[in-house]
Amino acid sequence: MNSDDLIEMVPVDENDPRIRAAVIELKALITASFPGTTFRVVRGEDPDGIHLLPIVDVDDLDEVAGVFMSRLVDMQVDEGLPVFVFPDATPERIRAYLRQHPARSNSERTPVLTA
């Protein structure tokens, strides 16, 4: 692929029918595998685009990414859609993780830099 083959990115506009269709499709892919998922859709700045934020009740968020990643790459590369997906765990999963993995004190942490 050379630079002449690159698709120009679509302007970031949450009302663009192509972007709306992409978000709907991604939601459907995720919901088909994870029925209890809730979603937020926001305009994001890093990277600039429409951010789909699924909240999923799973231990391993990589499982969620496996459901949509191939299609998302096609949307971004082949269709030039500025759509990004950032899955997160439910608050209950996060609390459970924090209970099982309490924060360590500074003295217990391994130093990153030594003099």
Report pLDDT for 35: 96
Report pLDDT for 105: 66
Report pLDDT for 109: 58
The domain spans of the chain are: 10-100
Task: Provide the pLDDT confidence category of residue 89 given band limits of 50, 70 and 90.
Answer: very high
In angstroms, rounded to a whole number, what is the distance separating the alpha carbons of residues 81 and 21?
Answer: 10
Report pLDDT for 108: 62
Pair 13, 19: CB distance under 8 Å: yes
In angstroms, rounded to a whole number, what is the distance separating the alpha carbons of residues 85 and 82?
Answer: 10
Residue 31 confidence (pLDDT) above 70: yes
Pair 24, 83: CB distance under 8 Å: no
Task: Provide the pLDDT confidence category of residue 7 given band limits of 50, 70 and 90.
Answer: confident
Tens of pLDDT, residue by residue over 90-104, are: 999 989 888 888 877
Residue 52 confidence (pLDDT) above 80: yes
Report pLDDT for 4: 57
DSSP 82: -
In angstroms, rounded to a whole number, what is the distance separating the alpha carbons of residues 52 and 87?
Answer: 8
Report pLDDT for 65: 97
